[in-house]
Structure 1
Amino acid sequence: MSETLFTKIINREIPADIIYEDDLSLAFNDINPQAPVHFLVIPKKTIATVNDIAEADRELVGHLYLVAAKLAKSMGFSEDGFRTVMNCNEHGGQTVFHIHLHVLAGKPMGWPPYSEKLKV
């Protein structure tokens, strides 16, 4: 698999505003925030899409959510609430093919998350 933007961030080849790191994951502020708080939690292991998550990755993917909750609490928005999103492939809005958990907070979130009406 080719190196992604996120691999380069993990390897410190390009800068990022890193807010958390452990042996399995890295979290950094999104460069194009869609909410007052918007950061990504990524695994250090490259997994291209949700479709590529294997049974062996179960704990790793769960770990990403635990990191998101830990950061939400430490940053003071866990009680107000937040949204987590993991996009998959082009129609799902995925632009970097290395799974990543978006964490958005700091304002009330509406549903559906888009303004365009669904055309069925």
Structure 2
Amino acid sequence: MNKEPDCIFCSIIAGDIPSTEVATSEHAYAFRDLHPAAPSHIVVVPKRHHPNVNELSHTDPELTGHVVALAAEAATKDGLDADGWRLLTNTGEHAGQTVQHVHFHVLGGERLGPLNAPRN
């Protein structure tokens, strides 16, 4: 793992900040979001620091697959398979990315609404 000193997700992966693990693999880590946006809200991060999904997919597409596979495993462990779940990532300021370590949100446990309000 390459750890960025000011990255909260790197600190979580390193065990410096506590988290509630849902699933883990050699390549990625899934844990409960502290401020859930749905009854089930899991954050999935690669163990190696990459700032966003664009950079990750270009420099390490195989790792991208590992992260998505762990997201599916975490959703299954949380019992989301029967009714479905959403996988979401934000890339860049306009998308709302607030932590510069690529991460995916697994959301489920209730009927989810649309991603954005209709545009006028």
After TM superposition, the score normalised by the length of structure 1 is 0.88
Q: Secondary structure of the residue that 1:40 maps to in structure 2? A: strand
How far the C-alpha of 1:30 sits from its partner, in A, is: 0.5
User: Corresponding residue for 2:116?
Assistant: 114
How far the C-alpha of 1:2 sits from its partner, in A, is: 4.8
AA aligned to 1:32 is H
**CA distance, structure 2, for counterparts of residue 76 and residue 53 of structure 1:** 28
How far the C-alpha of 1:58 sits from its partner, in A, is: 0.8
Q: How many residues align?
A: 117
Aligned-residue CA RMSD in angstroms?
A: 1.6
Which segments of 5 or more consecutive residues in structure 1 lack a partner in the other structure? none
**CA distance, structure 1, for counterparts of residue 40 and residue 58 of structure 2:** 31
How far the C-alpha of 1:54 sits from its partner, in A, is: 4.7
- More displaced 10-residue stretch of structure 1: 72-81 or 39-48: 72-81
User: Corresponding residue for 2:87?
Assistant: 84
Q: Secondary structure of the residue that 2:101 maps to in structure 1? A: coil
- More displaced 10-residue stretch of structure 1: 47-56 or 1-10: 47-56
Whether 1:39 and 2:42 are equivalent positions in the alignment is yes
Q: Percent identity?
A: 37
Aligned counterpart in structure 2 of residue 74 of structure 1, from 43, 58, 77: 77
User: Corresponding residue for 2:65?
Assistant: 62
Whether 1:19 and 2:18 are equivalent positions in the alignment is no
**Residues 54/74 of structure 1: CA separation in 2 closer, same or farther (3 Å cut):** closer
Which segments of 5 or more consecutive residues in structure 2 lack a partner in the other structure? none
